[in-house]
Structures are given as structure tokens and as C-alpha cells.
């Protein structure tokens, strides 16, 4: 195994992207993800890649569109307000079936909000963000190691399914340092026979476009896209279960909220409360199966979020509201404390599943 | 399971983040699980800087240090802000050059080190942070030469190898201070 180094989550994303063969980065600075751009600015010129600080987030995402159309691995990164600006481009890329990696190191919102960590872009990430029927694959790292490994995985998934993958992190994940091993196997984009690379007069033109003026044609590509999405929902969910075997209460949390919740679960276990943690790693596709299975065994769910309660809706959908789901949250850039989560667990234990 | 949490706090420019990073690398080279989380934002520009470090035998859960076992306070606002947060039975290291008052709590152990003065007198005025680090490692009984060398080797880039000896001197000053 390679020597472990201490890295910030943001730097780990940047280095992992380079390991994954990404040689094109376009972005615009915004706290708390600026280290990604800074790392790329330093590294890309040395390895024959492109780093470009665009004039805006809108410009950056359209540069990503352009490079992706040529078949190369490409990425952009931003934080919440900047990702809103990219929403139009994300929709266009979905309409043109273009792969790319998008990183959102979330901060408190709405509006300019603040710069402290948040998870309040869950709806935006899992429901698309831009207009039209489309999905993005959304990955939620909960450690610096996962910031790296999910970046590599994200490029692979994007290419495999010709869609954008979003890394949905938060300010804590971006800023914290943890040991990380960057021993990824040589990783390259697969051949892309749809890419606009020049015909050499030997093949018909490839066209990358999201405009379909014929409603029947537009309906057809939408239905085809959703068949692909259904396949992804079936095959690509990722999650982690912690102490769920005999759990009577299921705490659900992703990213930094999962880290905090793990402390609370350990503490509650010491007090004899049978509680476990179910951590979605893919937010879309949402890991419905383990939630559905848990709903048959536990008496209640607690959704721990750095938002006013967004993932809680997916838990209710996945479990068809079979068991009560309560919210344990902070917002605006504040992180719930392990004590707050522990109190929510104790309350759930007391209620015993009563609605 | 053994786990220790540390909070380093002071002015921007005192090497608060570096001290935390060194300690995290010390944990890493000792084969422990570690996390390092800085405060970030506008307060970093000339104001207070702080970072939390956790060193553990088990994977680190939450990286957020609200109640440290060990507080390193390098200026008065840091002591004012975090004195009450230290876990009972914990340890506070205070730079007594910049902090004139005493710690009010009686359920923690306190070490007053005139780190800024010691560093200045010895021609390494920017390394008060590592003077305190030397004392901290000595108090924890974790100051073997090999361990420190391994961590310094990780945290100081080859380009700045000249800083290696200065850091070592600073830590020796702190460790020897009674």
C-alpha cells in the first residue's frame, strides 16, 4: 500500500481527479472549495493539462460541456451559490448525454448564505437542479479517503452512463485533513465512439446537442434516458451499515452528519440502546433497499442533516412511511453535536416507535 | 480505546495550523488514526486561528473538537474563549508571554510556558508554536527523538529542510522548560 499522506479533502479530490486521467479543469473561486482550483492551478500546467479560471461559473460549466463533447475527462468544482449558476449547463449536459464530474463543497444557504458547512443542496443535487427530466449520480463522501476514491469512481460512472456525477461534500469535508492513500490503478476514460473528434472523412458526423424540436424524438430520448436511470438505480447504489444487525432505531446520515452520528450511536450503545447507522454513499440513486429492509426491523428512523430536512423525504419514500422518521438537524452552517444526536436517539428509544 | 482531542488556538501567523498539522503527522507516523480540522473563513485574515486534532487508536468519528482534552492557547482571546470548554482532568498549555492572567479552573492541569519570549531569545521568533509543542510532547511522554524526526520529516518539505533544525531546537527549548 502506498504511503499515507495528510491532505485536505479538497486537495484529495483534485489529486484523485488527476489520477483518474482528468486533464481539464474549469472553475471560479468560492469558499470553501478554493483549494481544488488552487491545486489544479499548480499541477495541471506541469502535466500538460488545462487549468482555466473562467470569468464566471456559467462560463466554466459551458467549457466543461465543450471538453466533454470531445471525449476527454473534465471537471469543475464550486460551492452552493456557484453550483446554482451552473444549473443551466448541467441541464444542457444531461440533454446532450455528456459525462463530467461536478464537485459541490456545500455552504449554508439560500442566497449567498454563509461559508460554513451545510447539506442544504441535497434537493438540488438529487432532483437535478436545472430544468427538465434528468438525474445526476450524486456521491456523498464521509472521509478524506472517500473524497479521493469517490472522485475516481465518479469519473468512471459518468463515462459508463454518459451523465454528470456530482460529489456532494460540505465545508468540513473540504477543509479537514486526514490520512489518505492515493494508490489508484492507472485509470483512463473508455473509448467514446460518440465523441466529436473529427471524422477524418471516414465516418458520419457525431453530433452533441440537446435541442429536439420534434416532440416525438424528444419524448423518445427522455424515455431512453430513464431506462438508463432505472438500470443505475438497480445496480449502482452504495451505502454503509454500522451496527444495524440488531438495531431497533436507525439513524440515517451522510457526509459529516454521519461522522457525528457514529459518535452518538457508539455512546447510545454504551447506554444499552439498540441503534445503528445507515449511511447512504450514493444519494442518487438513493439506497432504497436497505432502508426498506430496515423498516421491517426497526421501530423508528432518525434523519440527521445539516439542513431543514431534505433527505428525510427520500427515507419516507423508500420506507413508504411504514415507521416514523424524525429529524435531527442544524442549519445555516452549524453542525449537530453528537450530544444532540444522542438526545434524539434517547427520545426515539423512549417513544418506541409511537407515531 | 484511547483517544485524545487537541485544540490549538491563537492569532493568525503564530503557526497554529502548522502545529496541529505536525501533531497529526506525529500521530500518523506513530500508526494512529488522526483528523485535523481548521476553523476557516474571514476570521483567518489577521484574526484568530484555531484547529482541532484528534489522535485515536480507532477510526475517528466526528472530527469536530468542541471539548478538547488538551488546549494550546497562544493568546488571551483563545484562553478566554476555550478555557471553559476543556474536559475536566484535561491539560491547558498557555503562552505566558502573551497571556498574563492565570487559568481560573482548578480541575485541569496547566502549564505556563513563555514560548514567545523563549523563541525570540533563541533567534527563532516564529517558532513559539513549536516551543509549546515540545512541552506538550514532553508532558505526554511522547517525545522520543525518532518519533519527532519522523513527523518533522513529513511536515517540512524538502525545499525547506533548513527549518528542520530550528523546529527541533524550538521543541527542545519547550521540553526543557520547567
**Contact at CB, A178 and B62, closer than 8 angstroms:** no
* Segment B11-57, tens digit of pLDDT: 988 999 999 999 999 999 999 999 999 988 665 556 789 999 999 99
Number of domains into which chain A is organized: 2
What pLDDT, on a 0 to 100 scale, did the predictor assign at position B1? 56
Q: End of a domain among A206, A235, A264?
A: A235
pLDDT of A97: 98
- The answer, for B50 touching chain A at a CB cutoff of 8 Å, is no
Q: Could you please report the per-residue DSSP string of A70-102?
A: TT--EEEEE-HHHHHHHHHHHHHHHHTT--EEE
Percent of chain A with pLDDT over 90: 95
Q: What's residue B73's pLDDT?
A: 98
A263 and B61 within 8 Å at the Cβ level: the answer is yes
CATH of the domain at A346: 3.40.50.920
Q: Which residues contact A47 (CB under 8 A, 6 or more apart)?
A: A18, A23
pLDDT of A184 over the 90 cut: no
Residues of chain B found within 8 Å of residue A262, distances taken between Cβ atoms = 61-62
Q: Break chain B into its structural domains and give their ranges.
A: 3-176
Q: Which fold has domain B3-176?
A: Pyruvate-ferredoxin Oxidoreductase; domain 3 (3.40.920)
Full residue range of the structural domain in which residue A288 is found: 241-351
CB atoms within 10 A of CB A64: 27
How high is the pLDDT of residue A1?
Answer: 45
Q: Mapping DSSP to helix (H, G, I), strand (E, B) and coil, where does residue B87 land?
A: coil
Give the tens place of pLDDT for each residue, B49-82.
999 999 999 999 999 999 999 999 999 999 999 9
Inform me whether the C-beta atom of residue B109 falls under 8 Å from chain A C-beta atoms: no
Contacts of B42 in chain A (CB under 8 A): 115
Task: Write out the three cell numbers for A175.
Answer: 477543509
| Domain at A149, CATH number | 3.40.50.970
Phi-psi region of A143 (alpha: psi -120 to 50; beta: other; left: phi over 0): beta
Residue carrying the nine cell digits 452520528: A261
C-alpha A215/C-alpha A220 separation (Å) is 8
Identify whether residues A29 and A55 lie together within a single domain.
yes
Report, as an integer, the average pLDDT of A190-213: 94
Tell which wins on pLDDT, A190 or A47. A47
Q: Which of A172, A179, A336 to mutate to test the interface with B (most CBs of B within 10 A)?
A: A179
Classified as helix, coil or strand, A314 is: helix
Single pTM value for the model: 0.96
Q: Do B63 and A176 touch (CB under 8 A)?
A: yes
Does A138 share its domain with A43?
yes
Give me the residue from A4, A175, A338 closest to B62, CB to CB: A338
The mean of the pLDDT values for chain A is: 96
Rounded to whole angstroms, what are the CA distances from A35 to A18, A126, B166? 14, 25, 29
Rounded Cα–Cα distance for residues A93 and A91 (Å): 5
Q: What are phi and psi of A131, to 5 degrees?
A: -85, 160
- List chain A residues with CB under 8 Å of B22: none
Query: Residue A115 and residue B60: Cβ atoms within 8 Å?
Result: no
Tens of pLDDT, residues A68-127: 999 999 999 999 999 999 999 999 999 999 999 999 999 999 999 999 999 999 999 999
Q: In chain B, whose CA is at the least distance from the CA of A171?
A: B40
Beta strands (DSSP E) in A60-195 are 74-78, 100-106, 137-139, 164-170, 177-180
A296 pLDDT band, cuts 50/70/90, is: very high
State whether A315 and A180 are in the same domain. no
C-alpha cell at A316: 419516507
Residue A243, SS3? coil
Segment A11-17 shows an average pLDDT of 98
Residue B102 per-residue DSSP state: P
Closest residue of B to A117, CA-based?
B40
Amino acid at each position: 500500500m502506498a504511503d499515507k499522506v495528510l491532505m485536505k479533502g479538497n486537495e484529495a479530490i483534485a489529486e484523485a481527479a488527476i489520477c483518474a486521467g482528468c486533464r481539464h479543469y474549469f472553475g471560479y473561486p468560492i469558499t470553501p472549495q478554493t483549494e481544488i482550483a488552487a491545486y489544479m492551478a499548480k499541477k495541471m500546467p506541469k502535466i500538460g493539462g488545462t487549468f482555466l479560471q473562467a470569468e464566471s461559473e456559467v462560463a466554466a460549466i459551458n467549457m466543461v460541456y465543450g471538453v466533454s463533447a470531445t471525449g476527454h475527462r473534465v471537471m469543475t468544482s464550486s460551492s452552493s451559490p456557484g453550483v446554482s449558476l451552473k444549473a443551466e449547463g448541467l441541464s444542457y449536459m444531461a440533454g446532450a448525454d455528456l459525462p463530467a464530474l461536478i464537485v459541490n463543497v456545500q455552504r449554508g444557504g439560500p442566497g449567498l448564505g454563509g461559508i460554513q458547512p451545510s447539506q442544504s443542496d441535497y434537493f438540488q443535487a438529487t432532483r437535478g437542479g436545472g430544468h427538465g427530466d434528468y438525474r445526476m449520480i450524486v456521491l456523498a463522501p464521509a472521509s478524506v479517503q472517500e473524497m479521493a476514491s469517490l472522485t475516481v469512481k465518479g469519473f468512471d460512472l459518468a463515462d459508463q452512463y454518459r451523465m454528470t456525477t456530482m460529489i456532494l461534500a460540505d465545508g468540513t469535508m473540504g477543509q479537514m485533513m486526514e490520512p489518505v492513500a492515493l494508490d489508484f490503478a492507472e485509470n483512463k476514460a473508455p473509448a467514446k465512439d460518440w465523441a466529436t473528434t473529427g471524422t477524418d472523412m471516414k465516418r458520419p458526423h457525431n453530433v452533441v446537442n440537446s435541442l429536439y424540436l420534434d416532440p416525438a424524438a424528444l419524448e423518445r430520448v427522455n424515455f431512453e434516458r430513464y431506462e438508463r436511470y432505472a438500470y443505475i438505480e438497480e445496480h449502482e447504489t452504495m451505502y454503509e451499515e454500522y451496527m444495524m444487525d440488531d438495531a431497533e432505531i436507525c439513524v440515517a446520515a451522510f457526509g459529516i452528519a454521519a461522522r457525528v452520528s457514529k459518535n452518538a450511536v457508539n455512546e447510545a450503545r454504551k447506554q444499552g440502546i439498540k441503534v445503528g447507522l445507515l449511511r447512504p454513499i450514493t444519494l442518487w440513486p438513493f439506497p432504497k433497499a436497505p432502508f426498506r429492509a430496515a423498516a421491517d426491523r426497526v421501530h423508528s428512523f432518525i434523519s440527521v442533516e445539516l439542513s431543514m430536512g431534505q433527505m428525510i423525504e427520500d427515507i419516507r419514500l423508500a420506507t413508504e412511511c411504514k415507521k416514523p422518521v424524525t429529524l435531527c438537524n442544524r442549519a445555516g452552517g452549524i453542525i449537530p453535536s453528537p450530544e444532540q444526536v444522542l438526545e434524539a436517539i434517547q427520545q426515539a428509544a423512549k417513544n418506541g416507535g409511537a407515531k | 480505546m484511547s483517544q485524545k482531542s487537541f485544540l490549538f488556538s491563537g492569532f493568525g501567523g503564530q503557526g497554529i495550523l502548522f502545529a496541529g498539522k505536525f501533531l497529526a503527522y506525529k500521530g500518523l507516523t506513530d500508526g494512529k488514526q488522526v483528523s485535523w480540522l481548521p476553523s476557516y473563513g474571514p476570521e483567518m485574515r489577521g484574526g484568530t486561528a484555531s484547529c482541532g486534532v484528534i489522535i485515536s487508536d480507532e477510526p475517528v468519528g466526528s472530527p469536530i473538537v468542541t471539548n478538547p482534552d488538551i488546549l494550546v492557547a497562544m493568546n488571551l482571546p483563545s484562553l478566554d474563549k476555550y478555557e471553559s470548554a476543556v474536559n475536566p482532568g484535561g491539560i491547558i498549555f498557555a503562552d505566558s508571554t502573551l497571556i498574563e492572567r492565570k487559568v481560573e479552573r482548578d480541575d485541569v492541569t496547566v502549564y505556563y510556558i513563555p514560548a514567545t519570549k523563549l523563541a525570540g531569545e533563541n533567534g527563532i521568533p516564529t517558532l513559539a508554536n513549536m516551543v509549546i509543542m515540545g512541552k506538550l510532547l514532553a508532558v505526554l511522554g511522547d517525545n522520543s527523538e525518532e518519533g519527532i524526526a519522523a513527523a518533522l520529516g513529513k511536515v517540512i518539505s524538502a525545499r525547506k529542510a533548513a527549518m528542520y533544525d530550528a523546529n527541533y531546537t524550538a521543541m527542545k527549548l519547550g521540553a526543557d522548560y520547567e
